Amino acid sequence: MNNKVEALKILVVEDSKVTVKVLRNYLAAMHVSAPLIAESGRQALEIYERERPDVVLLDIKLPDIDGFEVARQIRKMEGEQEWAAIIFLTAMNTDEDLARGIAAGGDDYLVKPVSEIVFHAKVRAMQRLVGMQRKLVDVTQKLDGANAELLRLSTTDALTGIANRRSLDHFMEREWRRCLRMKKPLALVMMDIDYFKLFNDKYGHQAGDDCLKKVADRIARAAPRATDLAARYGGEEFTLVLGETDQDGAMWIAERVRQMVADLKVPHYATGSKFVTISCGVVSVLPEEKVSLEILVKSADAALYQAKRAGRDRVVAGQYGKF
């Protein structure tokens, strides 16, 4: 029979040197050559905290605190995805003793003097449980990672890497409620790449995609705060949500973004500057019960339309409710 137990870290908590020697020999036969040893409950807790063993062979009667209390403390110390198999070593074998051990956090028990055959069987059983727990943690971590990636994909525009329309809608609702509570203004900047259809027709869709990515990057740089969000509204249109920002502050940020895009110097034959430019509409409002987020969006969109009618490559300050 192959008694080899691989990759297990075992802690033996026992104040009897004779019992420790016996258990060492049993473990050596299973190719666990260097178990951790503690002769008291407090020492066991110190070793557990430092080493995080997979299996704890725990004597109930110890010179300081008893094994039941040690087991309870170990369970308190375990992390959310941690678990150590606890096997009590005891001369007591009544139903009440077993129930007390399980209640304290134990998983099994061995009656002294410990039988080598029973010892090997129970350690192997704990090995299987530890292996299952490791696989469960691994699967859980992979699932968490997959869920996080799905969330990212569901809230991120695949082309530009900034927030998508769904994420924008959720963020605006949340920021609107927050600014309402805080009695702080909320600003929207609606932006559109000038003559983008002509750009695509002239330079091709790959160049169009590259242009969208570059513009999105510049817009995202203007939204570093947790109260800000840069999002792709749709097509060549983008939105900046600026929490706790009044009209003057939003105008300054919009003008900065407009200049940053112009500084990219992406060639575009159809614009006055012969480079890619953007138009911006800006509206800020103090959220109140009598005003609405929907009207704010329409007002900013109307300001953007005014910027385009006025010749593009400019920032226009709109007014809430005016469209």
Domain ranges of the chain: 10-147, 165-317
165-317 CATH choice from 3.40.50.11540, 2.30.22.10, 3.30.450.20, 3.30.70.270: 3.30.70.270
pLDDT for 6: 53
Are 165 and 233 within 8 A, CB to CB?
A: yes
User: What angle is formed at CA 264 by the lines to CA 255 and CA 187, rounded to 5 degrees?
Assistant: 25
HEC sequence for 78-112: CCCCCCCEEEEEECCCCHHHHHHHHHHCCCEEEEC
pLDDT for 172: 94
Q: Residues 305-310: contacts with CB within 8 Å, 24+ apart?
A: 305/281, 306/281, 307/279, 307/280, 307/281, 308/192, 308/194, 308/279
pLDDT for 90: 83
Statement: 10-147 belongs to CATH 3.30.70.890: no
The pLDDT tens digits for 66-103 are 999 999 999 999 887 788 889 998 876 677 777 888 88
pLDDT for 277: 97
Close Cβ partners of 121 (under 8 Å, ≥ 6 residues apart) = none
pLDDT for 213: 96
pTM for the whole thing?
Answer: 0.60
pLDDT for 136: 80
pLDDT for 1: 46
CB atoms within 10 A of CB 294: 9
Q: Just list the catalytic residues.
A: 236
Query: Which residues of the chain, if any, have pLDDT below 70?
Result: 1-7, 33, 92-93, 148-149, 151-153
pLDDT for 40: 94
